[in-house]
Structure 1
Amino acid sequence: MGKPRQITAAALAVAGLTTAGAPAPASAELAAAAPFRVDYENGAHPKVGLNECCSHSIKVDDLPRTGEYAVRSVLKYGDPKVAGSTRAESHTLHAKETHFRSGDTVYYGFSVYLLSTWQRDSREDIVFQWKPWSDACETGKFPSAFLSVQPSGKWRLRVNSDGNACSTPESVRKTSFDLADVKPGQWHDFVFRFTWSHGSQGKIDGWYQTHKNPGWRKVLTAGGPNTFNDDKTTSGYLKWGIYKPAWASGKTDVDSRTIFHDNIAVGRTFSEVNPASTR
């Protein structure tokens, strides 16, 4: 790794849509322009916000999936809480292109890198979230879905849903899917297609590969509820980085986490969001 750059706001082009929907090969093909894509080649997207406590929390660094740069998120045990918990995350709260609601069908792509020195922990590390904000009648809300590194050494997608107009912790339906083995020292590429629904129309498809073992394979096909019955004033957005809920109450087996993300994209086709493709 070279000398990291502190994130500053910079422009990132946002372009139109295509209609093709088949999975694309994992080669360095030219990707179709996604409605929203963050590749960190010019710093941070101007609409991406940061939940960071400290100067070490979130920086642009030269360990990329493609191009020259990616984002590095660092969380240390004892870091001050941000947005109510222990996290170093980027978010798209103010990027309407990424917002989702029940009834939408959306493709998401991103790459995640774990250093070769990554150690298993007794508690999970959450690295990507699809997060709705709360309705007026709610005091808080679970993510609709999140991707985590599990103590078992698996990538896991957790899905939360609720058909009630006002969700409570007790009314949430929780489902988990183990996707693949965690492999430190590699870029892990993910593409998900969500048909968001708080009812039976919901569907999730997921594909996965690593940069050392390219070749997309389908790791998830799931149907059923996958989000919340939100009112018309609310929707969901994205978060990526490190979120370590366990550290809010005590120490675990590790005391520091470092993770990289690159090529976060939202679109209507696989090829638009393919994180292994170049722009």
Structure 2
Amino acid sequence: MQSLRSKFTLFVGLSILGLATVSCDTTGHGEFSEEMTALRSTSANVLLQEDFLGSNPFGQVHKQFGTNHAFNVVEDPRDRSNKAGRFELRKNDPITSNGKRSEVLFPAQDNKDRWYSYSVFLPSSGFRTDRDNDIITQWHQAGGGSPATTVRVQNDRFLVKSGNTKESRKDFDLGVATKDVWHDFVFHIVHSPNSDGLVEVWHNGKKILSQKGGNMYPLEMPRWKVGIYKASWANRNTDTDVRVLMFDNIKVGNQRADLTEMLVGTLTAVGNAASNNTSSNSNSTVSSGSTSTSSNETTSRPSRRRWWR
């Protein structure tokens, strides 16, 4: 009966969000270069998807790994039937691509309106509290130095730092970075150095940030990076000497994507989005300035099985 109830709940959630059918159209895939072929999704508006179940994870993207422990595919700590990508960075690791990092760099894009999503897991044994920040996501621009928009973890809290100059960047608190649970994030970004820029963030299906204004430098379009980057370790010590985290269900959507397509794949995310009616797309009306909400509670999920397959 439990299995039947789960299936019924899943069906209701999918129906509410309009996911009863899945398109196999490949419209929009040509916007990425051919090196993305191995990561392309069958969804019309999802340009790429990495779930670590294939034989060659991150096989066609640029890897910035300086050691054998920098990246490995491992068993999902919450679901033994699933896999995840494990990133590890140690204080004494060699400098890689001019910094202390374990990251992957995705190809350049030709449209400023993009959606991004992933699940991230911070193990308590490998990601101890540090008053110094770790960049776990960045939108990198060549020649820009410190990135204009990033997702960071500092003192056990998730933060977005964003602006169109180094001096104007602001920190937006996204809430507690609870350990040993999966966090599902969706980002909708209109990349721009001007007032038409937009950063929207959902955590576990709930919208927690909407920020209008410049979010990149007046340079070429940014390239997305995920992993661990800890600039401080190049010249000083911090509270820790090792960082370990895991990613899963990494996706990039085109300008026609929406929250429904980018939800990372948990019943909790489906339920939260349905009950809060937080669906959004690139034509959404957002008030000037920003709104940010956070919660000290993180909803745990017993399974990471993918409902979209």
Give the conservation status (yes or no) of the 8 Å contact 1:191–1:206. yes
The equivalent of 1:120 in structure 2 is 129
Give the conservation status (yes or no) of the 8 Å contact 2:162–2:215. yes
2:216 equivalent to 1:227: yes
2:105 equivalent to 1:91: yes
AA aligned opposite 1:70: A
Give the conservation status (yes or no) of the 8 Å contact 1:64–1:262. no
The equivalent of 2:258 in structure 1 is 269
The equivalent of 1:28 in structure 2 is none
Residue 202 of structure 1 and its aligned partner are, at CA, apart by 1.1
Alignment of 1:105-116 (within 5 A): 105-116=113-124
The equivalent of 1:237 in structure 2 is 223
TM-score (norm: length of structure 2): 0.68
Distance across 1 between alignment mates of 2:151 and 2:78: 19
Give the conservation status (yes or no) of the 8 Å contact 2:148–2:169. no
Q: Secondary structure at the match of 1:121?
A: coil
More strand by share: 1
Q: Secondary structure at the match of 2:169?
A: strand
Residue 193 of structure 1 and its aligned partner are, at CA, apart by 0.9
2:188 equivalent to 1:180: no
Q: Secondary structure at the match of 1:11?
A: helix
The equivalent of 2:33 in structure 1 is none
Distance across 1 between alignment mates of 2:53 and 2:110: 26
Give the conservation status (yes or no) of the 8 Å contact 2:38–2:60. no
The equivalent of 1:256 in structure 2 is 242
Structure with higher Rg: it is 2
Distance 1:65 1:226, change over 3 A: farther
Distance across 1 between alignment mates of 2:84 and 2:98: 26
2:161 equivalent to 1:147: no
Residue 184 of structure 1 and its aligned partner are, at CA, apart by 0.3
Distance across 1 between alignment mates of 2:121 and 2:208: 19
Residue 180 of structure 1 and its aligned partner are, at CA, apart by 1.2
Give the conservation status (yes or no) of the 8 Å contact 2:51–2:248. yes
Q: Secondary structure at the match of 2:95?
A: coil
2:191 equivalent to 1:196: yes
Q: Choose between structure 1 and 2 for higher RCO, CA contacts under 8 A separated by at least 6 residues.
A: 1
2:76 equivalent to 1:63: yes
Give the conservation status (yes or no) of the 8 Å contact 1:144–1:159. yes
The equivalent of 2:270 in structure 1 is none
Residue 14 of structure 1 and its aligned partner are, at CA, apart by 3.2
Please point out which of 55, 59, 65 is paired with 1:46: 59
Q: Secondary structure at the match of 1:161?
A: coil
Distance across 2 between alignment mates of 1:195 and 1:10: 24
CA deviation digits over 1:168-224, x for unaligned, max 9?
x6xx52111001111000111100111221111111111102xxxxxx211101111
Q: Secondary structure at the match of 1:257?
A: strand
AA aligned opposite 2:162: V
Give the conservation status (yes or no) of the 8 Å contact 2:135–2:150. yes
Q: Secondary structure at the match of 1:68?
A: strand
Aligned-pair RMSD on alpha carbons? 2.2
Residue 242 of structure 1 and its aligned partner are, at CA, apart by 1.0
Give the conservation status (yes or no) of the 8 Å contact 1:105–1:195. yes
Distance across 2 between alignment mates of 1:133 and 1:65: 37
Count of aligned pairs? 227
Give the conservation status (yes or no) of the 8 Å contact 1:148–1:155. yes
TM-score (norm: length of structure 1): 0.75
Distance across 2 between alignment mates of 1:15 and 1:181: 34
Structure 1 window deviating more from structure 2 (79-88 vs 44-53): it is: 44-53
Distance 1:53 1:70, change over 3 A: same
Give the conservation status (yes or no) of the 8 Å contact 1:10–1:46. no
The equivalent of 1:82 in structure 2 is 96
More helix by share: 2
AA aligned opposite 1:263: N
Q: Secondary structure at the match of 2:188?
A: strand
Give the conservation status (yes or no) of the 8 Å contact 1:107–1:266. yes
AA aligned opposite 2:71: I
**Structure 1 segments of 4+ aligned residues over 6 angstroms from their partners:** 64-67
Distance across 2 between alignment mates of 1:203 and 1:85: 29
AA aligned opposite 1:115: P
